[in-house]
Homo-oligomer: A and B are copies of this chain.
Amino acid sequence: MDDLHERLHTLHARLRAGLPAEAVLTDPDVTASYARDMASFCTAGTPAAVVLPRTVEQVRHVMRTATELRVPVVPQGARTGLSGAANASEGCIVLSLVKMDRILEIDPVDRIAVVEPGVVNAVLSRAVAEHGLYYPPDPSSWEMCTIGGNIGTASGGLCCVKYGVTAEYVLGLDVVLADGRLLRTGRRTAKGVAGYDLTRLFVGSEGTLGIVVGAVLALKPQPPAQLALAAEFPSAEAACEAVCAIMERGHTPSLLELMDGTTVRAVNKLAHMGLPDTTEALLLCAFDTPDPAADLAAVAELCRAAGATEVVPAEDAAESELLLQARRLSLTALEAIKTATMIDDVCVPRTKLAAMLTGTAEIAAKYGLTIGVCAHAGDGNTHPVVCFDHADEDESRRARESFDEIMALGLALGGTITGEHGVGVLKKEWLARELGPVGVELQRGIKETFDPLGLLNPGKLF
C-alpha cells in the first residue's frame, strides 16, 4: 500500500514537472469521472491521474513520463464512443485531448483544414461551412465528439452512403509515439504515395499506436441543402428491396436510412412526431444533387414498386430536417424503452440487408427481447439496439447473448462486426473471430512495432 502511494506520488510529481498544475487531475472523485465512455457492459479501471495537455510538448512530456515509469496511457476525446475503447485501465494515465481544440487553418483552395485533436466535430463543420466548405463525417454524437476521437474510432455517420467515412478525410497526422518521439505521417497534398500508408493505420487504431496531436483533413465544397422523402413499408424486407433497387439503378443519395417499426414507435412515444405508428419499416432518402426533387421522384417510384404503402416527399429543407431529426432521435428513443441498451454495429453487404434484419427479428423473438433496429441502410450498416432491464439478471444475460448472436449472424452473411463504432473492449473476442489467427498475429506485430512496452491503451482491440 505504501509502495502504491509512493508510486502514485512519483507519477504525479513527474507529470506536474512538465504540465501546468490545472492540467493534472489527481483527486480520485474527479479522476473516476473519466473512467468510461458510453458503452455498456465494458470493464473500466481507476485512473492514477488525468492529464489535460494544451500543447504537443506537454503530450510528449506525458508519454516520456509514462514510458519512464512504465505506466499505461489511455487517450480520450469526448468519451462518446460505444465500444469502451476510451475506458480507463487500472492505474493508467488518462490523457484527455479535449483542451487541444484549436482549428489552426482552413484553406479553401487546397480544401484542407489543419486541426488539433480536441476540436468538436460540429465546431469544425460550422467553421468550414463559413468558407463554403464541407467536412462530411457526421456521427450521431457530432455536437459533442472530437475529431481526435473520430480518427481513433474511424467513425461514420449518416453521410457515409455518399461521402464515405472519417478515414477518407484524413490526409496527414502529427503523432506523439509511446516514447515521446514525434511522427509526421501523410501529407497536405491531394495525392501522395510515399511509403506505407501510416496515416490510415492510425485511423481506427483506438489510441493503441500513438497519440494523434494534429491532423490535416480533406474538405469538400459545400453541397446544396438536401431534400428528403419518407417511405412506409409493410415489412423490413420490402424496405430493403427498395434500398437495393435504389443502389442498383445508380442513384447516389446523400442519405439512405431505415428505422424499423419498433424504432418508429419509440420515436413517436418520445417526441410525438406523428410518424406512421403501424408501419413496419420507414425509409428515409435524401439527395443534395442539383435537382433533388427529380431524384426523389425516381426513388419514390422504386419504393412503390418494392411495396411502399405511402411515400411522402418533404416540401423543403426544413421538412427534410424534421425527418432527419426523427432518425437522429432513434437511439435516445430506444434507450427510453428499458433501463439499459446495447448498441450493435454490424455491417453487411447491401444485398444481405434483408436477411440481417429478419435474422435480428428472429433473435429478438428467440430471447424474448425488444431489439429496435435503425440502419444506415445504403451502406448495409445496421444498429440493432438491444433493450433490457439492467437490474434483471436473466434479461441482462439474454441481452448479452443476443448481442453476440447478432454479430455471428453478420459474419455469416459476409459482414463485419463493426461498421463504424470500433472494437474497444466490447468486441475484442469478436475481432479475433473476424480476423482469424493470421490477421491477429500481424495486427499484434504492428502494435509491437509502435508500442513495444504495451503502454498505449492496453487491453483494447485484442
Known: A109-B350, A439-B198. A193 touches B461 (CB 8 A): no
Rounded to whole Å, the gap between the CB of A162 and the closest CB of chain B is 11
Highest count of chain B CB atoms <10 Å: which of A204, A291, A349: A349
Rounded to whole Å, the gap between the CB of A425 and the closest CB of chain B is 14
Tell me, in angstroms, the Cα distance from A436 to B182 when the chains sit together. 11
Known: A168-B168, A416-B187. A109 touches B193 (CB 8 A): no
Interface size on A, residues (CB 8 A): 86
- Interface status of A431 (Cβ within 8 A of chain B): yes
Tell me, in angstroms, the Cα distance from A379 to B109 when the chains sit together. 11
Residues of B within 8 A of A142 (CB): none
Q: Would B183 and A439 count as touching, CB distance under 8 A?
A: yes
Residues of B within 8 A of A110 (CB): 349-351, 380
| A309-348 near B? 1/0 per residue, CB < 8 Å | 0000000000000000000000000000000000000011
- Interface status of A401 (Cβ within 8 A of chain B): no
Rounded to whole Å, the gap between the CB of A335 and the closest CB of chain B is 23
Residues of B within 8 A of A380 (CB): 110, 189-191
Rounded to whole Å, the gap between the CB of A395 and the closest CB of chain B is 28
Q: Which of A18-26, A30-38, A152-160, A260-268 makes up part of the contact surface?
A: A152-160
Tell me, in angstroms, the Cα distance from A446 to B444 when the chains sit together. 11
**Majority secondary structure of chain A interface residues (helix, strand, loop or mixed):** loop
Tell me, in angstroms, the Cα distance from A165 to B191 when the chains sit together. 8
Rounded to whole Å, the gap between the CB of A415 and the closest CB of chain B is 6
Residues of B within 8 A of A45 (CB): none
- Interface status of A221 (Cβ within 8 A of chain B): yes
Q: Would A351 and B107 count as touching, CB distance under 8 A?
A: yes
Known: A160-B191, A185-B439, A439-B183. A205 touches B196 (CB 8 A): yes
With A192-B419, A195-B461 given, can you name 10 additional A-B contacts, CB distance below 8 Å? A109-B248, A110-B380, A154-B197, A165-B193, A189-B349, A190-B378, A190-B381, A191-B379, A193-B204, A196-B201
Q: Can you report 15 A-B residue pairs in the complex whose CB atoms are below 8 A from each other?
A: A109-B350, A167-B197, A167-B200, A177-B438, A183-B439, A187-B415, A189-B415, A193-B416, A193-B420, A193-B422, A195-B435, A196-B204, A197-B204, A198-B442, A200-B201
Interface residues of A (CB under 8 A from B): 107-112, 132, 153-154, 156, 160-161, 164-165, 167-168, 177, 181-185, 187-198, 200-201, 203-205, 209, 221-222, 244, 247-248, 250-252, 289-291, 347-351, 376, 378-381, 414-423, 431, 434-436, 438-439, 442-443, 445-446, 448-450, 461-462
